[in-house]
Amino acid sequence: MNRHVPPHVAAAEAREADGLGCTDVTPIKQRGQHEVFCGLTSIIWLHRKVQDAFFLIVGSRTCAHLMQSAAGVMIFAEPRFGTAIIDDRDLSGMADMNEELDKVVARLIARRPDIRMLVLVGSCPSEVIKLDLGRAAMKLNERFAPDLRVLSYSGSGIETTFTQGEDNFLQAVIGGTPRAAPDAPRQLLIAGCLADVIEDQFTRIFHGLGIENVHFLPARHAEGVPPIGPNTTVLMAQPYLTETAKMLEKKGARVLTAPFPLGEEGTTAWLRAAADAFDVPADRFAAITDAGRERARKAVSLYRDRLAGKRVFFFPDSQMEPSLARFLSREVDAEILEVGTPYLNKNHMAPDLALLPSSVRLAEGQDVDKQIDRVRADDPDLIICGMGLGNPFEAEGRTTKWSIEFAFTPIQGYEQAGDLAELFARPLGRRDLLQVEV
Ligand code: SF4
C-alpha cells in the first residue's frame, strides 16, 4: 500500500536521511530595504536586566519617541533609561554638545546616586555620529570612577538591527572586564540576556549537574561579570551575539556551539553541550533533565494539533529565526517555507540549521519587496514579521505574528516551551475564531 506522506513529514525524513538539514543550503543574500527596529530597542530588555545601570540615549526626539512608545514605562517612578536630546542649537558646535552631555550626566548622577553603570548609547542623527561617545565615556569615567562605570556603544539604526544593540552593549561590558588569573577556577558563562526567572531555572539545573561556578552576561548588577580568560567556557543563550563571542574568544574563553535553548529538544541539546564540556556523566544528566523534558513535551503537545502541517514564513528580524523555525519544524511538525534572518552566522547557527529540513529557503539580509512577493506566491498559513508588515498582511486576509514578541517574551528553557508554542498558535486560533464568527 502506498503511504501518504505530507510534505513536511517528507522533508523531515529527507533531513534525517542526509543528516545535514539546512547546513549546506545557500541563503538568498539580500541588500534591499530593511523593515527592522534599530539597536536602541534592545534597551527595553537590557534596562530591566541590569538593575543598577542607566541607559542614556544620545539622540533626537525621534529616538525619545521610539523608546517611550515602544517601552511604555516612562511615566512610572524612576525610569532607568532616558534620552539626552540633541537640539538644533547643538548643531552650532561640538564643544557645546560635549558640555551639554557633561551637564546632563552630572545632573543625572546627582539625582540618582544609586546608578553604578552609565551607558551612553549613540544613535543615527549626523550630529551624534560626529560626537565621539567613546571618548566622552572615557572622560566621564576619569571623573566618576570608581563609584560609577561609564560605557558607550552604538544603537544607531544605520549600523544595527534591534538585537545587535545587545551585541554592542555586551562588547562594551566585557571590553572593560579584567582577564582571569591563570589559576582561576573553571567557570561557565551564559552569554545573552535571559529573563531573571529563566536564569534562576537554568542556575538550578547547572547546579544539579554539578556545575557550580555559573555566571550570566549581562549580569544583574554592574559588578556581576567575572574576569574572563581560558578558565571560561561560554554557552551562548542568544543567537545574535556574533561580535560578543569573538571578543570572548579573544580573551581566551572557549565558546560552545549548540542549538539555542528553545523547546524541549533545543534546551536539552544546549544543556548537554555544557554538560559534555564539564564531563557530566550521562546518568546524572538524565536524572536532572528528564522531568523538565517531560513537562516541556507535554506543554508543547497541547498546541500540536493547531500547528502541525501549518506552512510558516519568517521575515528577517531578530536573528532568532532559524532556532524558532527549528522548534516549529521538529517539535510541532510545522512546515517551514522560508527563514529570513538579518545576518546569518553559519557557525553559531550550524546546530540549528542541521535540524531544519533541506527544503527550507534561507534568506540573509532583507529586500522587503521581494520577500512580500514570495509570501504572496507561497500563501503561507502563518507569517512571522515586523509590526510594519503585520497590519497590511492581515488586511490581505493573512495570519501574522509580530516577531518582536519572541524577543520580549521569556521563551527559553523547559518551563517556557509551552508558552513558545502558544505564541505561534495564538494568531491561528484567533483566525479560526474570526472565521467562525463571520
Ligand atoms: Fe530612529 Fe536612528 Fe533614533 Fe533609532 S537611532 S530611533 S533609527 S533616529
| 5: pLDDT strictly greater than 90 | no
Beta partners for 63?
none
* Per-residue cell: 312: 510558516
Q: How far is the CA of 128 from the centre of ligand 1 (A)?
A: 11
List pLDDT tens digits, range 372-417. 999 999 999 999 998 889 999 999 999 999 998 998 899 999 999 9
Q: State the closest ligand 1 atom to the C-alpha of 67, by its place in the atom list counted from 1.
A: 6
Question: What pLDDT sits at residue 74?
Answer: 46
Nearest CA to ligand 1 atom 6: 63
pLDDT for the residue numbered 95: 59
Is the pLDDT assigned to residue 190 strictly greater than 50?
yes
Which superfamily does CATH assign the domain made up of 187-284 to? Answer: Nitrogenase molybdenum iron protein domain (3.40.50.1980)
Q: Is 124 annotated as a binding residue?
A: yes
Per-domain boundaries in the chain: 28-35+295-434, 39-160, 187-284
Cα 368 to averaged position of ligand 1 atoms, centre (Å): 19
Phi first, then psi, for residue 85 (nearest 5°) are: -80, 130
- The H or E element spanning position 60 is none
Grid coordinates in use for 176?
572593560
- Establish whether 63 is an annotated binding residue: yes
End-to-end CA distance of the chain: 41
**Is pLDDT of 149 > 90?**
yes
Q: Would you identify the CATH topology of the domain 39-160?
A: Rossmann fold (3.40.50)
Q: Are 334 and 308 in contact (CB under 8 A)?
A: yes
pLDDT given for residue 152 in this prediction: 95
Is the pLDDT at 11 greater than 60, yes or no?
A: no
What is the mean predicted confidence (pLDDT) over 130-134?
A: 86
Query: What pLDDT score does 349 carry?
Result: 93
What ipTM does this complex have? Answer: 0.97
pLDDT exceeding 70 applies to what percent of the chain? Answer: 89
* Confidence bin at 79 (pLDDT 50/70/90): low
- Whole-prediction pTM: 0.90
Report how far ligand 1's centroid is from the alpha carbon of 51 (Å): 24
Q: What is the Å distance from ligand 1's center to 96 Cα?
A: 22
| Mutate-to-test residue for ligand 1 from 62, 83, 133, highest number of ligand atoms within 8 A of CB | 62
Q: Rounded CA gap, 238 and 190, in Å? A: 9
| Residue 37 pLDDT class (50, 70, 90 cuts) | confident
CATH superfamily of 28-35+295-434: Nitrogenase molybdenum iron protein domain (3.40.50.1980)
Q: Once rounded to an integer, what is the mean pLDDT over residues 63-71?
A: 79
Average confidence (pLDDT) over 72-92: 60
The confidence score (pLDDT) of residue 436 equals: 58
In 112-259, which residue ranges form alpha helices assigned H by DSSP? 126-130, 133-144, 164-175, 196-208, 242-250
Q: What pLDDT, on a 0 to 100 scale, did the predictor assign at position 1?
A: 40
pLDDT of residue 34: 65
Average per-residue pLDDT in the chain?
88
pLDDT at residue number 249: 97
Instruction: Give ∠ CA 241-182-234 in degrees, rounded to 5.
Output: 20
Strand partners, 313: 338, 383
Task: Report the pLDDT value the prediction gives residue 129, as an integer from 0 to 100.
Answer: 78
| Closest residue CA from atom 7 of ligand 1 | 157
Q: Is the predicted pLDDT of residue 188 greater than 90, yes or no?
A: yes
Ligand 1 atom closest to residue 156's alpha carbon, by position in its atom list: 5
**Fold equal for 28-35+295-434 and 187-284:** yes
CA geometry: angle 352, 195, 308, nearest 5 deg: 45
Residue recorded with cell 572557549: 254
C-alpha 124 to ligand 1 mean position (Å): 5
235-290 per-position pLDDT tens digit = 999 999 999 999 999 999 999 999 999 999 999 999 999 999 999 999 999 999 99
Return the best residue to mutate from 43, 57, 63 for the ligand 1 pocket (most ligand atoms within 8 A of CB).
63
DSSP annotation of 412: B
Please state, for a pLDDT cut of 90, what percent of the chain lies above it. 65
pLDDT tens digits along 303-343: 999 999 999 999 998 899 999 999 999 999 999 999 999 88
Of the pLDDT bands very low, low, confident and very high (cuts 50, 70, 90), residue 59 is: confident
Q: 318 by DSSP, 3-state: which?
A: coil
Task: Spell out which residues line ligand 1, taking CB within 6 angstroms.
Answer: 38, 40, 59-60, 62-63, 66, 123-124, 155-157
Contact present, 187 and 235 (Cβ < 8 Å): no
Ligand 1 center to residue 151 CA distance, Å? Answer: 19
Closest ligand 1 atom, residue 123 Cα: 5
